[in-house]
Structure 1
Amino acid sequence: MLIRQTALLAGVLGCVLALLLAASSAPAAEIHVAPGGNDAGPGTAERPVATLARARDAARALIAKGLTAPCEVVVHAGTYRLAEPLVLGPEDGGTADQAVTWRAADGPSPVVSGGRAITGWKQDGDVWRAAIPEAKAGAWTFNELFVGGERRPRARHPNEGYARVEKVIDDRRSFTWKEGDLPALADAGEAQLLFLHDWSVTRVRIASMDAASRTLATADRVGGPAAFWRVGGFEPHPRFSIENHPALLDAPGEWYLDTKTGVLTYRPMPGEAVGTTEVVAPVAAQVLV
């Protein structure tokens, strides 16, 4: 009899414990977000919200009401494009007992991107061109471009390796290059200097290039304030290249942004098709803060 009562008690306790564990592990709420959703929706699996910011705000509303069990934000597959960082702070984590957890939904992984897709491409001979009004207005410029998910180099010279400084004229703003290292350009245009120090680089606008004297001058200081970053501060004949000039657009995969006209020009790689290949440029410096 005692054994039977003990077994019955153990069974009851086991059921109670199982129910308690189930109650403590089951989320009080799930907030679903999917790129094809609607931010005006309730955030259910059937009617997800569309943006990460809206999902965060929905979680904050639940926290403000008082969580009685954990909450999950379920991020479904697709690409979430952010024009500004998603800001999450300690207040978004819930409590030690009732935490808010962000997780990917089962299946393909979601992608959070700080880039914007560029559309409206037109074929122009062996290059593509797209108008970007924000670039012309000075509201958007960029140093990187991604095509089909891969980073593409800006129009540059040399295409491989680097040129070398021959002689330093001003250790912050001008130098001569070695004969044959650079092509003769009619004008500097919007070209930039990419200057290598040690493990760091400087990008600075080129003010002028004189082919006769092989002299390059920059519009701003090269390197940081410390003497180490001056021209010639790391090695006697430092490496550099020049970028973003239409005359340098000579290899597949290169691109050039003209901010005066607001036109982006791209020389496609084999197999890329205008209008179907995705081209993305960065708009957000960070995606999560």
Structure 2
Amino acid sequence: MRNIVCLILFSTALRASGQTTLYTSSYGKGTKCSKEHPCSLYAAKEQVRRMVSSMSGDIVVILTGGTYFLDSPLEFGPDDGGKNGYQVIYTTYDGGQSAISGGLPITGWSAVGNGIYQAKYEGPGFRQLYVNGKRATRARSPNRSDDQGFGPYYRYNGLDTQAKRIRIDRKEIVNLERLGNLETVIKHHWDQGRYRIDSMEEQGDQIWINFKEPETSIDQWQQGCCPGWSVGQSFYFEGSFELLDAPGEWFLDETLGLVYYYPRPDEKIENIHVIAPTRDVLLAIDGASYLTFKGLVFECTNWDMPNEARIGVQSGWRRNYERPFIPGGIQLANAHHIQFTNNIIRFFGGTGIEFAHSSHDNVIEGNLLIDIASNGIQIYTDILNSLPDSIHECRNDSIVNNYITRVAQDYTGGAGINVTFSNGIVIENNEVFDLPYTGISIGWGWTDNTTNLKNNLVRYNNIHHVMQLHDDGGGIYSLSNSPNTIYSHNYIHHIVKSQWAEEWPIAGIYLDNGSSGILVEYNVVDAPRAFSAWNEPNHGNTIRHNWHFPENQIVVRPENKLEDNFSISSDTWPRSALDIQTKVGPNFPMPVVDESSLLTPIRNNRHSSKRKKNGKIAN
């Protein structure tokens, strides 16, 4: 009902006096921006810039149906948002679907044998490929057959932290004449590292693998913590033509300028629709305010920085980079009163939506985020400054009524929602599911010192089928001192430990190092460890009035309060717990992408796979 009311109000606003409406088309020309003569999206943005200073009503930019392939990011500054109490609204036409894409269609496929096809490609490098609206698999070994834990995997059986190398069984690697940038992708407890192979040394039926720089220098190469090495960790090889041997796999040879693809049984090469992501950023919002993006599809962003090594630490953070978090395809900084409403955000090669410093009072509501390479939503990335002044902090943002699923698909240590230092964030009525690691992560720093992390509210979220690969995480995971923070009325369930996980715990609600000042109440939890609050420092938290099953462990330090929780003796939740379950998650069905309305006929599209390489956006 709430969304129906919003639609009625939106329709009424379109007819309101003083409002200006501009129309765009994926083939738009000129500057009229009328329904009869639509302009390009870039031209409409320039028209808006000339109008905002004298706004007497909302300015609505309507994208007519189809896919808008971007030549460059859409950049919004102080002169592109609403003024005089009005909004600038970008939306779709008459309930249809319009997509803003950073992708590039690839055509002209020819057979090369063994079921494999090739096409010429002269654009920038990429690490994902989408065929008929589905993600294809970058060539790997062993071949992937598990869409939950992304397995199967091998396990290395030897480790030399001094020489910085691992040992594997000889049978686990094919006879590779060209190592190139072949990667060994290793799961370390709660994160993932990607290490390019430099050389191999055979010792009977064993092989020692040596890695390239900078992998060997930026990784701490220690057993145990951070996230640490341990004999028996799972891994796979990725990124070589020699591994291309299963339907649905692909490989890009940048040297030869060729893309290879092995079609799935239900795909015909003459009518497949192949998109490679080539733009790192779709929207770059810096200094703007009062902008709304409503009912759109944002898709196909790129991020090929891992070609130079990616050693993960936690939740999309990587070592030894000036910008440590994996960047978002939608970026906000110095922005306020920005709204993303009822959009579909999919096929992103890095993080989905990223709010950086000095952003406040922004709303992400009613969206579907699906098939994202790293974090779904990232709030406040300046982890080097845990105490910004009030002007530069992120505060009073809302993440409400969203579906967040199948994120961290490439960099599996990512979270559905990751918040570092934030003041007054509200995360409620979201459904977060099908993730390899943590659902919602709040906090940073591993410290009980005072920071800008405070006054945060996480409630009425439906979190399930997370932790499908890693260990040492949970449905809701927190770090550091967070006074006046509440986790309440969440339903956290269907969490089981993966066969590829290691020995560290998995919890429904996990209060990790530094956690203090947090109230955990009225949550319904079914996880191997219902509540964990043990790693020091860890004090001043209250865990009360929650429901869990007897087999769900509770491990809490005595410096915290654990009181009046309910251990359910049967398989049926009591009415009070069932009542909470009925109130969690979004209040509308999950959106569905209508592929037929988005796929622009290739013969009419002015883009081709021969687009020249362009300058890279800073990583």
> Is 1:84 the counterpart of 2:56 in the alignment?
no
**For the residues of structure 2 that align with 1:229 and 1:81, how far apart are their CA atoms?**
45
- 159, 166, 189: which is aligned to 2:143? 159
Q: Percent identity?
A: 28
2:22 is paired with a residue whose SS is strand
**For the residues of structure 2 that align with 1:253 and 1:280, how far apart are their CA atoms?**
14
**For the residues of structure 2 that align with 1:74 and 1:109, how far apart are their CA atoms?**
11
- 252, 255, 258: which is aligned to 2:250? 255
> Is 1:201 the counterpart of 2:187 in the alignment?
no
Return closer, same or farther for 1:230/1:132 CA change in 2, 3 Å cut-off: farther
Aligned length: 261
**For the residues of structure 1 that align with 2:141 and 2:272, how far apart are their CA atoms?**
26
Q: Is the 8 A contact 1:128 1:266 kept in 2?
A: yes
How does 1:61-210 map onto structure 2 within 5 Å? 61-64=50-53, 66-125=54-113, 126-134=115-123, 140-160=124-144, 161-170=152-161, 173-210=164-201
Partner in structure 1 of residue 208 of structure 2: 215
Query: Structure 1 segments of 4 or more deviating over 6 A?
Result: 21-24, 228-232
Return closer, same or farther for 1:238/1:24 CA change in 2, 3 Å cut-off: same
How far apart are residue 27 of structure 1 and its match?
Answer: 4.5
Return closer, same or farther for 1:226/1:44 CA change in 2, 3 Å cut-off: same
How far apart are residue 54 of structure 1 and its match?
Answer: 2.2
TM-score with structure 2 setting the length: 0.39
How far apart are residue 210 of structure 1 and its match?
Answer: 3.8
Higher share of residues assigned strand: 2
How far apart are residue 170 of structure 1 and its match?
Answer: 4.2
2:267 is paired with a residue whose SS is coil
Return closer, same or farther for 1:189/1:22 CA change in 2, 3 Å cut-off: closer
Return closer, same or farther for 1:28/1:243 CA change in 2, 3 Å cut-off: same
How far apart are residue 57 of structure 1 and its match?
Answer: 1.2
Partner in structure 2 of residue 37 of structure 1: 28
Return closer, same or farther for 1:72/1:175 CA change in 2, 3 Å cut-off: same
**For the residues of structure 1 that align with 2:222 and 2:108, how far apart are their CA atoms?**
41
- 276, 280, 285: which is aligned to 1:285? 280
How far apart are residue 243 of structure 1 and its match?
Answer: 1.0
**For the residues of structure 1 that align with 2:163 and 2:51, how far apart are their CA atoms?**
56
Q: Deviations over 1:112-167 (max 9, x none)?
A: 22211112222223211011234xxxxx1111111111111111001131111211
Higher mean C-alpha displacement, 209-218 vs 279-288: 209-218
How far apart are residue 268 of structure 1 and its match?
Answer: 0.6
**For the residues of structure 1 that align with 2:98 and 2:118, how far apart are their CA atoms?**
30
Q: Deviations over 1:229-285 (max 9, x none)?
A: 779814332221111212211100101111221111110112322242111111122
**For the residues of structure 2 that align with 1:82 and 1:257, how far apart are their CA atoms?**
22
Q: Is the 8 A contact 1:210 1:216 kept in 2?
A: yes
TM-score with structure 1 setting the length: 0.79
Q: Is the 8 A contact 1:249 1:267 kept in 2?
A: yes
Return closer, same or farther for 1:210/1:262 CA change in 2, 3 Å cut-off: farther
Return closer, same or farther for 1:204/1:48 CA change in 2, 3 Å cut-off: farther
| Greater relative contact order, per chain length (Cα 8 Å cut-off, separation 6+) | 1
| Letter aligned with residue 212 of structure 2 | A
Return closer, same or farther for 1:56/1:121 CA change in 2, 3 Å cut-off: same
Partner in structure 2 of residue 3 of structure 1: none
**For the residues of structure 1 that align with 2:14 and 2:250, how far apart are their CA atoms?**
56
Q: Is the 8 A contact 1:187 1:208 kept in 2?
A: no
In our comparison, the structure showing a higher alpha carbon Rg is 1
Return closer, same or farther for 1:263/1:229 CA change in 2, 3 Å cut-off: farther
Partner in structure 2 of residue 235 of structure 1: 230
**For the residues of structure 2 that align with 1:83 and 1:114, how far apart are their CA atoms?**
8
- RMSD of aligned residue pairs (Cα, Å): 2.8
1:54 is paired with a residue whose SS is helix
Partner in structure 2 of residue 268 of structure 1: 263
**For the residues of structure 1 that align with 2:15 and 2:251, how far apart are their CA atoms?**
56
| Letter aligned with residue 99 of structure 1 | Q
Gaps of at least 5 residues in structure 2 are 1-11, 145-151, 285-619
**For the residues of structure 2 that align with 1:22 and 1:243, how far apart are their CA atoms?**
51
